[in-house]
Chain A
């Protein structure tokens, strides 16, 4: 089985990763029984393996992160891998129909509440006075006396 070794610096969440240049193409065997999603491979040791963190297994059409490299006697090594589900299925994923919740370059709906934006404890306070008031601060008050009758009878 052929393994293509790469050094990938993209974030694991990147769907379509930039593989960069191929480090080396090596022949390997599956080590013991293992899951295709978390396989281990036995192969001859080369220094370039240590400098790689990502492999492509053409036969399985899958991409894997290298999780660990165990050096063995006889100039051999065992690499433990974990599948990159995004990269392995990138064509299918990119073709999925989806509804976005949030994103960097989307049609932002500014009036949907977004609790993820950090909020300070402090608050702004704006005071706005109305232009006028029925009431006066001091002086000029009016006294209203209500009396019974109160008109001079003729």
Chain B
């Protein structure tokens, strides 16, 4: 199976090979070519092939730093009797190019062959990134199965990097010579089978199997799926593929699951735009909007084209179902969109011999540098894979209406819509009655020290002490500990750094009632409005790729995906939901009762952003705020002994106000009015007969918060970081397994027995037309269904 390097966990950004310019020398590491996309209808790309750094003055124009590309190769077509038909285009590209910072290597490519054409995509930060990609003659495309591809190809790419001597420009220093070979050594015919193109490119990129097209494909365009480099120098693979009229990101759907078809561009040269660069105008490019910025989800139209797209037609072509959309200029909101077909024009010699199917929403044409504003599109589905309603569309009319598209429907492996706006809310609790303080362990100890010490010895301002409402025993000079503790709703330990979670955390003094204790710390409420700004702290854990191993059913069968979530426990996920996809994790933590919820969701790509979530796969509840035991029954004894000890044995169950707020106040999403309504209700029920004590008394009727699901300090012994464990069966395929036992068929074909070969097993064999007696029929049927060699 063709694998995608990204899915294999190879970080493309690490493949940058730097070429250090040292005086007149250019040194380079050996680069790693790799294929991106669904090869071979994609192309070989040497991502970040070279990065020029160092003394850039050496390679700027005038010094004659040159790049010479020399491509030679050979291939064997399917059915071709001779192995190793050479092909070369050396004359096309064997030349020197001045390559200075800010200039491009721009080979003069005439695409009459299957070529690996290098081009320089961008120059940024004094680094030039060179790419190669397949170009094939323009023409008409069809959906072509892999079987039609050539059997084997080998090619070498030699790249000479030369510079001229800085002292004597007439002298050229040949500096470095690179060569790499891409080949498929296995010439067995069954290797043509798209599902047996199996090799581990993660171990040997040079051994990556390469297939290109045969002569029947020669005249077709292979615009395929493209990769571009963003301004950050990294690859961006926001492939928006027109498939089933659902635009989806390529990353999201595992490459191997897109079936044995290749996607390509449909081109017809019939109109030229009035522009200095000519472009073809027909395309299957459809509206898939992507934004480089933080556009809200609502602005992405997965099922609705941008306003202005009118010329939507569908065509039955070559037995396949195509959706053909016109290129051109369209508007969406106030932006302009260019839909540019993946075709190219021979007269376009500027940068792109093969224009990419891109569109740009700022109304400018492609100028040679990529950025995130360019979205590369192009895909075609085979007719048999189309949905019924699509097949029934009249392809000869333009009455196709996007409104007919069932939004939100899911096809197998289709991404569908994203989960809208989860975690985006700021939940504040309207609270005029409580304050939450953020304390350190030292401040907690200090608080206890104050309580356990005679107030008279602490030089409190007696004016302030009048605010303590009976928590002082003026006869003994001690604190009335029980009364103090009555004011404390809870004291919880959170194993995290809360100040980074809680915004607007002003420093104030810990107060009981309205009496300040002189311990300055942060609060979780906004003092001006008495609203706990963030009663729920949200923290994202990032995302991980749940990798494939076999790229077939074995990645799902007998596979366990278990996610360990600190303070929540473990959760088993369905492999079908997450394998080959990015799994994100976000915690929402209730700072009142210490509970937490861990959200696990699938995303289109690696991201820290929860807005990229496509669907939740699990939500697990736990407890991460742990009650600090404060003793009520021992408080008096402790106080009389005047012990300085903030912690004693025995649990005094502190009731949370959470339930109270549920009943008499209102939880609101930053809604002050909710709190006001709650206060009003409290007044009606007589609760507010005393400003604070009534609330304290009211606690007796409030249930204590549940601490199940992780309330023990022993939970601290567990890892504090969430992780995923993928346990997968190990399979053993004996030698000659395929030829003797075979693999399960897609059952899509109803063919003659003679169309098969090797070992075959058939089902529900119909012996009509066979001239033999009944016993013979039964025997033949049984034999065919148990397996024969054809």
Q: Is the CB of A140 within 8 A of B497?
A: yes
- CB of B741 closer than 8 Å to a CB of A: yes
A104 contact from B738, B749, B770, Cβ within 8 A? B738
Q: Is the CB of B788 within 8 A of A134?
A: no
Q: A104 and B757 in contact (CB under 8 A), knowing A97-B751, A133-B541?
A: yes
Q: Is the CB of A98 within 8 A of B730?
A: no
B725 contact from A14, A107, A125, Cβ within 8 A? A125
- CB of A152 closer than 8 Å to a CB of B: yes
- CB of B726 closer than 8 Å to a CB of A: yes
Q: Is the CB of B514 within 8 A of A152?
A: yes
Q: Mark B772-787, 1 if CB is under 8 A from A, else 0.
A: 1101100110011001
B441 contact from A94, A127, A132, A143, Cβ within 8 A? A143
Q: Mark B436-456, 1 if CB is under 8 A from A, else 0.
A: 111111011001000000000
Q: Mark B224-250, 1 if CB is under 8 A from A, else 0.
A: 000000000000000000000000000
A86 to B783, CA, bound (A): 8
A117 to B732, CA, bound (A): 7
What residues on B are CB-neighbors of A113 within 8 Å? Answer: 553, 556-557, 744
A120 to B732, CA, bound (A): 7
Q: Is the CB of B624 within 8 A of A135?
A: yes
Q: Is the CB of B490 within 8 A of A145?
A: yes
Query: Of B742, B748, B750, which is in contact with the most chain A CB atoms at under 10 Å from its CB?
Result: B742
A127 to B544, CA, bound (A): 11
Q: How far is the CB of A139 from chain B (nearest CB, A)?
A: 9
Q: Is the CB of B744 within 8 A of A108?
A: yes
What residues on A are CB-neighbors of B767 within 8 Å? Answer: 96
Query: Which chain A residues in 83-124 approach chain B with CB under 8 Å?
Result: 83, 85-86, 88-89, 92-114, 116-120, 122-124
- CB of B389 closer than 8 Å to a CB of A: no
Q: Is the CB of A143 within 8 A of B438?
A: yes
Q: Is the CB of A129 within 8 A of B779?
A: no
Q: Is the CB of B750 within 8 A of A126?
A: no
What residues on A are CB-neighbors of B552 within 8 Å? Answer: 110-111
Q: Is the CB of A86 within 8 A of B780?
A: yes
Q: A150 and B437 in contact (CB under 8 A), knowing A100-B749, A111-B257?
A: yes
A107 to B758, CA, bound (A): 13
What residues on A are CB-neighbors of B757 within 8 Å? Answer: 104-105
Q: Mark A63-99, 1 if CB is under 8 A from B, else 0.
A: 0000000000000000000010110110011111111
The residue in chain B whose Cβ has the minimal distance to the Cβ of A35 is: B775
Instruction: Place the interface of chain A in its size category.
Output: 35 or more
- CB of B187 closer than 8 Å to a CB of A: no
- CB of B411 closer than 8 Å to a CB of A: no
B769 contact from A92, A126, A140, Cβ within 8 A? A92
Query: Of B499, B545, B729, B789, which is in contact with the most chain A CB atoms at under 10 Å from its CB?
Result: B789
Q: Is the CB of B788 within 8 A of A14?
A: yes
Q: Is the CB of A100 within 8 A of B772?
A: no
- CB of B530 closer than 8 Å to a CB of A: yes
B436 contact from A15, A92, A122, A145, Cβ within 8 A? A145
The residue in chain A whose Cβ has the minimal distance to the Cβ of B193 is: A108
- CB of A21 closer than 8 Å to a CB of B: no
- CB of B524 closer than 8 Å to a CB of A: yes
Q: Is the CB of B745 within 8 A of A107?
A: yes
Q: Is the CB of A135 within 8 A of B762?
A: no
- CB of B753 closer than 8 Å to a CB of A: yes
What residues on B are CB-neighbors of A97 within 8 Å? Answer: 750-752, 766
Query: Of B543, B557, B696, B739, which is in contact with the most chain A CB atoms at under 10 Å from its CB?
Result: B557
Q: Is the CB of B543 within 8 A of A130?
A: yes
Report how many residues on chain B are interfacial, defined by Cβ distance under 8 Å.
Answer: 146
Q: A122 and B730 in contact (CB under 8 A), knowing A106-B742, A130-B543?
A: yes
- CB of A137 closer than 8 Å to a CB of B: yes
Name the segment of B37-45, B345-353, B583-591 touching the other chain.
Answer: B583-591
Q: Is the CB of B696 within 8 A of A135?
A: no
Q: Is the CB of B732 within 8 A of A118?
A: yes
- CB of B1 closer than 8 Å to a CB of A: yes
Q: A100 and B543 in contact (CB under 8 A), knowing A109-B747, A148-B434, A152-B516?
A: no
Q: How far is the CB of B568 from chain A (nearest CB, A)?
A: 11
Q: Is the CB of A118 within 8 A of B720?
A: no
A119 to B737, CA, bound (A): 13
A140 to B496, CA, bound (A): 7
Query: Which chain B residues in 434-491 approach chain A with CB under 8 Å?
Result: 434-441, 443-444, 447, 467, 486-491
Q: Is the CB of B542 within 8 A of A132?
A: yes
Q: Is the CB of A149 within 8 A of B433?
A: yes
The residue in chain B whose Cβ has the minimal distance to the Cβ of A106 is: B745
What residues on A are CB-neighbors of B749 within 8 Å? Answer: 99-100, 107
Q: Is the CB of B489 within 8 A of A104?
A: no
Q: Is the CB of B544 within 8 A of A88?
A: no
What residues on B are CB-neighbors of A102 within 8 Å? Answer: 741-745, 760-761
Q: How far is the CB of A14 from chain B (nearest CB, A)?
A: 4
Q: A108 and B770 in contact (CB under 8 A), knowing A86-B780, A144-B491, A149-B514?
A: no
A102 to B743, CA, bound (A): 5
What residues on B are CB-neighbors of A13 within 8 Å? Answer: 783, 787-789
A83 to B720, CA, bound (A): 72
Q: Is the CB of A150 within 8 A of B770?
A: no
- CB of B608 closer than 8 Å to a CB of A: yes
What residues on A are CB-neighbors of B266 within 8 Å? Answer: none
A136 contact from B486, B720, B727, B761, Cβ within 8 A? B720
Q: Is the CB of B772 within 8 A of A131?
A: no
A142 to B441, CA, bound (A): 8
- CB of A11 closer than 8 Å to a CB of B: yes
The residue in chain A whose Cβ has the minimal distance to the Cβ of B547 is: A126
- CB of A151 closer than 8 Å to a CB of B: yes
Q: Is the CB of B744 within 8 A of A133?
A: no
Q: Is the CB of A103 within 8 A of B587?
A: no
- CB of B66 closer than 8 Å to a CB of A: no
Q: How far is the CB of A115 from chain B (nearest CB, A)?
A: 8
- CB of B641 closer than 8 Å to a CB of A: no
Q: A130 and B585 in contact (CB under 8 A), knowing A114-B744, A149-B511, A149-B513?
A: yes
Q: Is the CB of B467 within 8 A of A135?
A: no
Q: Is the CB of A104 within 8 A of B758?
A: yes
The residue in chain B whose Cβ has the minimal distance to the Cβ of A130 is: B541
Q: Is the CB of A123 within 8 A of B722?
A: no
Q: How far is the CB of B177 from chain A (nearest CB, A)?
A: 40
Q: Is the CB of B763 within 8 A of A99?
A: yes
Q: Mark B257-272, 1 if CB is under 8 A from A, else 0.
A: 1001000000000000
A86 to B195, CA, bound (A): 30
Q: A109 and B438 in contact (CB under 8 A), knowing A132-B540, A135-B567?
A: no
Q: Is the CB of A37 within 8 A of B435?
A: no
A13 to B740, CA, bound (A): 12
What residues on B are CB-neighbors of A103 within 8 Å? Answer: 742-743, 745, 756, 758-761
Q: How far is the CB of B695 from chain A (nearest CB, A)?
A: 6
A15 to B754, CA, bound (A): 10
The residue in chain B whose Cβ has the minimal distance to the Cβ of A92 is: B770
- CB of B691 closer than 8 Å to a CB of A: yes
Query: Of A96, A114, A120, A140, which is in contact with the most chain B CB atoms at under 10 Å from its CB?
Result: A96
Q: How far is the CB of A152 from chain B (nearest CB, A)?
A: 5
What residues on A are CB-neighbors of B546 within 8 Å? Answer: 128
Q: Is the CB of A107 within 8 A of B193?
A: yes
What residues on B are CB-neighbors of A10 within 8 Å? Answer: 789
Q: Mark B534-565, 1 if CB is under 8 A from A, else 0.
A: 00010111111111010111101110000000
Q: How far is the CB of A133 from chain B (nearest CB, A)?
A: 4
What residues on B are CB-neighbors of A116 within 8 Å? Answer: 741
Q: Is the CB of A135 within 8 A of B496?
A: yes
9 interchain pairs (CB within 8 A)?
A: A13-B783, A98-B762, A109-B747, A113-B553, A127-B723, A133-B541, A136-B496, A146-B656, A151-B511
A85-B780, A130-B541, A145-B444 are known; give 20 further A-B pairs, CB within 8 A. A88-B776, A94-B753, A96-B784, A101-B761, A103-B745, A104-B743, A107-B746, A109-B747, A111-B556, A112-B746, A119-B732, A124-B727, A128-B545, A131-B544, A131-B608, A133-B541, A143-B438, A144-B494, A148-B488, A149-B691
**Top 7 A-B pairs ranked by shortest CB distance?**
A150-B435, A104-B758, A131-B542, A110-B552, A134-B539, A109-B746, A142-B498
